[in-house]
Amino acid sequence: MKEKIITVIGSLNFDMIFKQQRLAVIGETYSAENLTITGGGKGANQAVQCAKLGASTYLVGSVGRDVLGDQLLNDLARYGVITDYVSRTDAATGVGVVNALEDGSLLATISKGANYEMTPERIDEIEPLLKRSSIVILQLEIPIEVVEYSIHKAHEAGCYVILNAAPAAAISADALAKVNCLVVNEPEASFYCGEIIEDWSPR
C-alpha cells in the first residue's frame, strides 16, 4: 500500500559558494566578496525542500567517510530528512564550487566523488521503500545507468516519477517515457530538443 512518502535518489555535495563581481581570467587570482559554505547537491536540495514542506522524505545516496560527509548527514537530519539509505564509502564526499555573479548568473563545478559509487544494486536494495513511496524524485548527478534503472524500478512500483534532467546528459527514450514530470531550464531544454530554447513564450 502506498504511503505519503517521497523518496529522493541522487547526489549529496558539500558546496562552496563564492559571491563575486566577475569570473577570473586565465592566470589571474581574483578575490571574491564573500564565501558561503553549505550542504548541497541536487538530490540533497530536493530532499530538504520536500522535508520543509512537511513530507516524510527519504534520501538515497552516498557520501564519503570524511568530515564533509558527517556534516552533510547532520545537516540533513536537522531538516528532518531520513538518511537511513545514505551509504558511506571510501570515495571522498562530492564537492561543488559555485560562482555567484552580481547579475544573478551562477556557474558551478562539481566533483563526482562518492555520488558515483551509486550502483543499480543499491536500487534493488531499496525496492521495499519504492513500493511504499508515492513519489520518487531524481536528477543527473549520479551515474546515468543508475538514474535509468531507478526510473524503471520506481515506475514498476507505481510511483509518480519526477526527473530534474540536470546537468543535461543523454538519457534513454525508454526511461524518459516512464517519467511523469520532467523539469528543465532553457539550456537543458536546448540540449534535449536539439535546438536553441531561449524562453518559454508561446510561438
pLDDT, average across residues 158-164: 98
In the chain, what percentage of residues exceed pLDDT 70?
97
Instruction: Please identify which residue in the block is written with the cell numbers 558539500.
Output: 14
pLDDT, average across residues 141-152: 98
Q: How confident is the model at residue 44 (pLDDT cuts 50, 70, 90)?
A: very high
73's CB contacts (< 8 A; 6+ apart) are 63, 83, 86
For residue 61, the domain's CATH number is 3.40.1190.20
Is residue 20 one of the residues assigned to a domain?
no
- Separation in Å, CA 156 to CA 64, 149, 153, 186: 31, 11, 5, 30
* Residue 158, burial from CB neighbour count under 10 angstroms (0-12, 13-18, 19+): exposed
Q: How confident is the model at residue 117 (pLDDT cuts 50, 70, 90)?
A: very high
Is residue 32 one of the residues assigned to a domain?
no
In this model, does residue 176 exceed pLDDT 70?
yes
| pLDDT of the residue at 110 | 87
In this model, does residue 24 exceed pLDDT 60?
yes
Instruction: Please identify which residue in the block is written with the cell numbers 558511506.
Output: 88
pTM (predicted TM-score): 0.90
What digits encode the pLDDT tens for the residues 4-15? 999 999 999 999
Is residue 80 one of the residues assigned to a domain?
yes
Is residue 105 one of the residues assigned to a domain?
no
| pLDDT of the residue at 1 | 65
What digits encode the pLDDT tens for the residues 177-192? 999 999 999 889 899 9
Q: Which of 26-30, 85-89, 102-106, 115-119 has the lowest mean pLDDT?
A: 102-106
Is residue 98 one of the residues assigned to a domain?
no
In the chain, what percentage of residues exceed pLDDT 90?
87
Is residue 100 one of the residues assigned to a domain?
no
Do 41 and 141 meet the contact criterion of CB atoms below 8 Å apart?
A: yes
Is residue 26 one of the residues assigned to a domain?
no
Specify the number of domains making up the chain. 1
pLDDT, average across residues 84-108: 94
Structural domain containing residue 176: 5-12+41-93+114-193
| pLDDT of the residue at 203 | 54
Is residue 141 one of the residues assigned to a domain?
yes
pLDDT, average across residues 60-74: 97
